[in-house]
Amino acid sequence: MARVDETNLRWLLTEALKLEIRGKEFFLKAASLTSHELGQKMFQRLAEEEVRHLETFSRLFTEVLGSDDWKKEISAEELKENSEVIESLVRRMKGAGGKSDLEALSIGLELESRAIDHFQQAVVSSSGEKTREIFEKIASEERFHYDLLQAQLDSLQKTGFWLDSAEFRMDGKY
């Protein structure tokens, strides 16, 4: 991927925002389709974290770009576009029948993996140190989500119990 110019940065920003918006939609849908109460809570918490990411992105992007003019350039319609990725993932989860909890976790892993890839590409392609730092922090958060979902999947497959809210982070951060 080439170094980021203003056009590429706008695309990266737009895609980052879409990933978080779509992720929130998916996690809320997964919460409504999951039969376990603790699984529902986990997906709801992940949806809330996507909202927090949107707020963080907005602040960081404004800081990096020196103004919030970028908000005027990215239309609300662009961000509201139907996501075929999310729609196909939701259809897949609905079609899983009694296995919807496992399928929701599997699909969540796929979604987080795509987000990690996007943000890692942004790190590699960004020329500014601050921009790289922002995208690396975002990628790190997405890796934490991925690890959480993987731990839940492992727990559900091996013991049949959902993990409750963690009292510590698996990545060693507090």
The pLDDT of residue 151 is above 80: yes
Question: How sure is the predictor about 143, in pLDDT bands with cuts at 50, 70 and 90?
Answer: very high
Query: Which tens digits make up the pLDDT trace of 29-83?
Result: 888 888 788 888 888 988 998 888 888 878 877 877 778 887 777 767 667 766 6
Q: What angle do CA 30, 153, 118 make, to 5 degrees?
A: 70
Judge: domain 6-158, CATH 1.20.1260.10.
Answer: yes
Assess contact for 31 and 43: CB atoms under 8 A. yes
Q: What is the DSSP letter of 95?
A: T
- Domain ranges for the chain: 6-158
Residue 90: predicted pLDDT: 67
Amino acid at 47: A
Among residues 33, 55, 60, 54, the alpha carbon closest in space to that of 44 is found at 33
The pLDDT of residue 168 is above 70: no
- Single pTM value for the model: 0.71
Mean pLDDT for all residues in the chain: 77
Assess contact for 148 and 166: CB atoms under 8 A. yes
